[in-house]
Amino acid sequence: MKTKYPRYQDYVIKDGKLIGEFEEMYRDFEDPWEQTTRERDAFEKLICLEIIRREGYRRVIELGCGFGEFTSQIQRVSGCALGIDISQTAIHEAKKRHSDTQFVVGDILDFNLYRNFRPDCVVLSEITWYILDKLEALKSFLRQNLRGGGIIHLLMTYASGEQKYGREFFTNLDEIMEWWDCVDYRDWGTLSKAEYNGGKRTFFHGIII
More confident residue, 197 or 70: 70
Domains and CATH numbers, the chain: 32-208 (3.40.50.150)
For residue 149, how far is the Cα from the chain centroid?
A: 17
> Averaged over 195-206, what is the pLDDT?
92
Q: Tell me the HSE value of 173 on the side-chain side, using a 13 A CA sphere.
A: 18
Confidence grade of residue 96 (pLDDT, cut at 50, 70, 90): very high
pTM for the predicted model, two decimal places: 0.93
CA distance linking residue 136 with residue 72, whole number of Å: 28
CA distance linking residue 206 with residue 209, whole number of Å: 9
CA distances from 69 to 13, 52, 58, 97, 127 (A): 23, 16, 18, 8, 15
CA distance linking residue 51 with residue 45, whole number of Å: 10
Q: What is the mean pLDDT of the chain?
A: 93
